[in-house]
Amino acid sequence: MALPAAVLLLLLLLALLLPLAALVLGTVLLGLPSYDIPAGVNQPAKLRLVLAVLLGTAALGRILEKTGLCSQITFGRYVRQGRRLRLDPKLFIQDLQFNKVPVRVYQPKATSHGRRRGILFFHGGGWVFGSLDTYEKVCRYLSRESESVVVSVQYRLAPEHKYPAAYEDCLNATVHFMRNAEHYGVDPACISVCGDSAGGNLAAAVSQTLAGRADLPRLRAQILIYPGLQALDFNLPSYHQNRGVPLLFRERAAFFALQYLNGDASHMQEVLKGSHIPPDMRQKYRKWVSPDNIPEKFKVRGVKPLNPTDFMAEVYETVKRFCEPNLCPLLAEDAVVHQLPESFILTCEYDVLRDDGLLYKKRLEDNGVRVTWCHLEDGFHGIISLYDYGGLSFPSGKRGLDSVVNFLKGL
């Protein structure tokens, strides 16, 4: 008796998918031992499970790219996209455009006795991933708990849109909001910029650009959550101590920076070795980018100083914009840093970007800027986004997010 067409189709799909699933699973199992889940990290068993999902997604993305179905980045965006949540009884939420930049505005429904705080939020994702939906839970939480108007900005992503596209979108959206704050019930003198990871980089760059603007209100604060702030030295202590700790690996940090810069990661190994920066320029910035400026307690897990390597002029020519503060805010001159608003910096012990935050904290404090610092001793990169992730939630992520809320309430 012939099988029904539907059953035959199902068997065909299984025949195609099972080998693929086996290949993905094998890649994950082979890859897990090469990554490091420190004993002191928050919820290590859960983090290992998250890592398995990431490795499986990456493996499947590579397979799809090789078959020509879609690029690995496109597949990664699809998986990370998230979903629109149900209506929030405490918030008005609307999608708008500020200076042609897509934004999502979160406004508390509760009656306010005065104008509210305003927060521009720039999402993370290595300038390559992330969306309004990806950070929906985080932005809702910030708006509800701090009773602030939050504007989440959907800047253009790399590598399709290279530097300075993301920075320009964030700057344009911020300027529009500052000039129209009263329309949203926001006090123009109480607007802050906020972002995590790549979004923290963008928040720092926007804050520096606006520091000297006389035609706009002064930003009230900048909130930088495990920000990436430089691409000169990928051999700072945290980059080696946490090189294999999810959710951001040392090589991926360099890969994302290159994707944002020019969409070309072919010189990633040279950048990791430090061959991309001329010796005189490295010496110039050593006063700001150096293990010497990092407290000793953060070096106990090991330090691997950058060994002198042969400078490669041809590589420098392709990445020389790494020395622009709008791309690497840690390199801004003191005259700019001195004008910056009150700051909040969150760092995580098990994060390759930890030392970027520590170095910027020192620069701000050396220039008389008030800094509130939150360090998650058991935190890892990306933990804020996992504060409410069902069975894979991380309590330390909520502690970090609550520290941001408390800072905002104190402004």
The C-alpha atoms of residue 248 and residue 354 are separated, in whole angstroms, by: 11
Q: Do the beta carbons of residue 370 and residue 387 sit within 8 Å? A: no
* pLDDT in single tens digits along all 411 residues of the chain: 444 555 445 444 444 444 444 444 444 444 445 688 998 999 999 999 888 888 888 888 888 899 888 899 998 898 888 777 889 999 999 999 999 999 999 999 999 989 999 999 999 999 999 999 999 999 999 999 999 999 999 999 999 999 999 999 999 999 999 999 999 999 999 999 999 999 999 999 999 999 989 999 999 999 999 999 999 999 999 999 999 999 999 999 999 999 999 999 999 999 999 999 999 999 999 999 999 999 999 999 988 777 767 899 999 999 999 999 999 999 999 999 999 999 999 999 999 999 999 999 999 999 999 999 999 999 999 999 999 988 889 999 999 999 999 999 999
**H helix or E strand, kind and range, residue 120:** strand 116-122
Q: Do the beta carbons of residue 128 and residue 165 sit within 8 Å? A: no
Catalytic residue among 131, 146, 197, 343: 197
Catalytic residue among 123, 176, 267, 381: 381
Domain boundaries, the chain: 81-410
Calculated CA dihedral for residues 13, 80, 34, 399, nearest 10 degrees: -140
Q: Which residue has the tokens 């709008």?
A: 326
Query: Six-digit token pair at 400?
Result: 């970090």
By C-alpha distance, which of 344, 341, 390 is closest to 146? 344
- Residue 340: CA count within 13 A, CB half-sphere: 34
Q: Do the beta carbons of residue 334 and residue 220 sit within 8 Å? A: no
DSSP 338-390: TTPPEEEEEEEEE-TTHHHHHHHHHHHHHTT--EEEEEEEEEETTGGGGTT-G
Q: Give this prediction's pTM.
A: 0.92
Q: What residues contact residue 202 under an 8 Å CB cut-off, 6+ apart?
A: 122, 155, 166, 167, 170, 195
Is 381 annotated in the active site?
yes
Give the count of beta carbons closer than 10 Å to the beta carbon of residue 280.
Answer: 8
| Adjacent-strand bridge partners of 221 | 192, 342
81-410 CATH, one of 3.40.309.10, 3.40.50.2000, 3.40.50.1820, 3.40.50.720: 3.40.50.1820
The C-alpha atoms of residue 198 and residue 210 are separated, in whole angstroms, by: 19
Give the count of beta carbons closer than 10 Å to the beta carbon of residue 155.
Answer: 25
What is residue 81's predicted lDDT score, i.e. its pLDDT? 83
Is 356 annotated in the active site?
no
The C-alpha atoms of residue 21 and residue 27 are separated, in whole angstroms, by: 10
Catalytic residue among 233, 351, 356, 378: 351
Is 197 annotated in the active site?
yes
Side chain identity at residue 98, one-letter code: F
Give the count of beta carbons closer than 10 Å to the beta carbon of residue 97.
Answer: 11
Triad 355, 358, 360: Cα angle to 5°: 110
Decide: residue 183, CB within 10 A, 0-12 exposed, 13-18 middle, 19+ buried. exposed
